[in-house]
């Protein structure tokens, strides 16, 4: 049955629903003036989160879908970090106070491409501009291939307490096909070094659906990763969109697995992680039972943002850096994508916001429905409609899709409650899309549903 569902729905191109509405709907009608006005309304009764985007790597992985570029030199990275420090100050000044911060996440690219001194200075600037809470989570995405001992020590000195390590696959054939050569030994040394300096929490990122990847090679990678016992795994399906990311054209399409094979890889990884004691979190995350993410799932307070599933309940997410996205109660804001334009903006003491989206009441209603589906695999739309003062009859946009999912045994409807059946969790994006009022009007190219 699962294979048939994967075959039937797997080719659909759908959002990952890390936001609603999704980024393709952002527009330049929202700009710097709007963002400044929104920042001025922030209430310090609840802490905010910071996301810093570092769009540089030492080499390009051919599967990459991020906004990043390759540099062999340190100067561009140092100049960019100076821009981040400036933007952090400008945002803090716009807020008007030294705002409390509960989460800091450095994403990329490769944030650890910064020199140790530059990274320490940047974290110091953040702590100067914001009231970073003593128990704040400070997380950094790391490429183990380029992590040095000096940088490891800088991470510990700066109070980093969570590291997210890219692994993807340990299969040599897959690594050659994606231009990413990374040994288990190097990964293990990185984990060992980070633990010694006080970084105690770890995420590993894996991909399935890569060129030449098989169920066997996926399971071999998982077995090796489990030996290092990270707290969390993120397991994403490779999104092959060469029209959007030209370097993906280096991947031969005839080496990519089809929807059924991708599904088999995904489920094999999931089962191996569950067998090893990890709890399945939503669509693509796994966590040890004592991890904060597992607790959030159990207690019904799981959320979803641009980093995936999270226990971060902050209503204000401040994005810093080129292409960074922020979320406020009023809507989304996004910075200019090109690094040169970003640096020019902050050099003129301007916020780099160039587009965004202001929420309507209908957006807030649908965002709640979609988040609960993505996080809990079940939702009661009429209950949420009452909370938002909306007509429950308008909740479902694509009734045919939902009816097909019910008829095919992927979804049950008991009274007002819609629930994804055990074994059909991989179709959660398909279920969520039935409530997406923007999807039919979008020309964006999304990743495959399976």
| DSSP secondary structure letters along 256-268 | S--HHHHHHHHHH
**Is 449 a residue whose pLDDT tops 70?**
no
Q: How far apart, in whole angstroms, are the C-alpha atoms of residue 81 and residue 70?
A: 16
Give per-residue pLDDT as tens, 133-183: 999 999 999 999 999 999 999 999 999 999 999 999 999 999 999 999 999
**Is 447 a residue whose pLDDT tops 70?**
no
Residues 6 or more apart from 115 whose CB is under 8 A from it?
74, 77, 78, 151
Backbone torsions φ then ψ of 152, nearest 5 degrees: -60, -45
Q: Range(s) for CATH 3.80.30.20 in the chain?
A: 18-358
The pTM score is: 0.93
User: Quick one: what percent of the chain has pLDDT higher than 70?
Assistant: 98
Residue with tokens 């991947």: 251
Q: What DSSP element (H or E) covers 106?
A: strand 100-108
Q: Range(s) for CATH 1.10.10.920 in the chain?
A: 361-441
Backbone torsions φ then ψ of 108, nearest 5 degrees: -160, -155
pLDDT at 150: 98
For residue 172, give both structure tokens. Answer: 């040599």
Q: Which CATH architecture has domain 361-441?
A: Orthogonal Bundle (1.10)
Q: What ranges in 73-140 are assigned the alpha helix state H?
A: 75-95, 116-129
Give per-residue pLDDT as tens, 188-245: 999 999 999 999 999 999 999 999 999 999 999 999 999 999 999 999 999 898 887 8
**Is 26 a residue whose pLDDT tops 70?**
yes
Q: How far apart, in whole angstroms, are the C-alpha atoms of residue 337 and residue 219?
A: 37
Backbone torsions φ then ψ of 378, nearest 5 degrees: -155, 155
Contact 86, 172 (CB under 8 A): no
User: Which of 66-75, 126-135, 407-416 is predicted most confidently?
Assistant: 126-135
Q: How far apart, in whole angstroms, are the C-alpha atoms of residue 322 and residue 306?
A: 15
Q: How far apart, in whole angstroms, are the C-alpha atoms of residue 86 and residue 128?
A: 12
Give per-residue pLDDT as tens, 410-445: 999 998 999 999 988 889 999 999 999 999 877 665
The CATH number of 18-358, from 3.60.20.10, 3.80.30.20, 3.40.50.300, 3.90.600.10, is 3.80.30.20
Q: How far apart, in whole angstroms, are the C-alpha atoms of residue 234 and residue 168?
A: 10
Average confidence score pLDDT of the chain: 94
């Amino acid at each position: 049955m699962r294979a048939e569902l994967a075959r039937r729905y797997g080719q659909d191109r759908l959002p990952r629903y890390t936001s609603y509405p999704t980024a393709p709907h952002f527009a330049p009608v929202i700009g710097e003036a709007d963002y400044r006005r929104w920042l001025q309304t922030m209430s310090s009764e609840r802490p905010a989160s910071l996301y810093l985007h570092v769009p540089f790597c030492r080499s390009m992985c051919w599967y990459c879908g991020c906004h990043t570029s390759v540099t062999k030199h340190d100067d561009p990275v140092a100049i960019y970090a100076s821009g981040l420090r400036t933007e952090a100050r400008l945002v803090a000044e716009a807020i008007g106070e030294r705002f409390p911060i509960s989460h800091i996440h450095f994403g990329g690219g490769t944030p650890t491409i910064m020199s140790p001194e530059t990274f320490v200075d940047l974290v110091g600037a953040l702590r100067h501009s914001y009231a970073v809470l003593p128990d704040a989570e400070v997380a950094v995405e790391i490429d183990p291939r380029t992590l040095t001992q000096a940088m490891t020590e800088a991470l510990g000195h700066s109070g980093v307490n969570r590291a997210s390590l890219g692994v993807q696959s340990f299969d040599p054939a897959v690594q050659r096909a994606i231009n990413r050569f990374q040994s288990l030994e190097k990964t293990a040394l990185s984990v060992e070094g980070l633990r010694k300096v006080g970084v105690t929490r770890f995420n590993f990122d894996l991909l399935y659906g890569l060129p030449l990847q098989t169920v066997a090679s996926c399971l071999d990678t998982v077995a090796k990763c489990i030996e290092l016992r990270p707290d969390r795994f993120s397991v994403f399906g490779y999104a092959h969109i060469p029209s959007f990311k030209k370097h993906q054209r280096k991947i031969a399409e005839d080496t990519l697995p089809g929807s059924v094979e991708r599904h088999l890889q995904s489920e094999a990884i999931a089962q191996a992680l569950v067998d090893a004691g990890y709890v399945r979190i939503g669509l693509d995350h796994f966590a040890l039972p004592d991890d904060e993410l597992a607790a959030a799932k159990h207690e019904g307070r799981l959320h979803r943002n641009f980093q995936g599933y999270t226990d971060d309940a902050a209503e204000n997410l401040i994005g810093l850096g080129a292409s960074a996205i922020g979320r406020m109660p009023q809507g989304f804001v996004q910075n200019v994508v090109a690094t040169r334009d970003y640096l020019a903006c902050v050099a003129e003491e301007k916020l780099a916001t160039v587009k965004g989206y202001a929420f309507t009441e209908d957006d807030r209603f649908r965002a709640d429905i979609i988040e609960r589906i993505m996080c809990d695999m079940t939702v009661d739309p009429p209950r949420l409609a009452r909370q938002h003062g909306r007509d429950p009859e308008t909740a479902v946009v694509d009734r045919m899709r939902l009816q097909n999912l019910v008829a095919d045994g992927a979804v049950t409807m008991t009274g007002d409650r819609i629930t994804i059946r055990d074994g059909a969790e991989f179709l959660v994006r398909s279920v969520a899309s039935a409530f997406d009022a923007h999807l039919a009007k979008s020309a964006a190219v999304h990743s495959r549903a399976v």
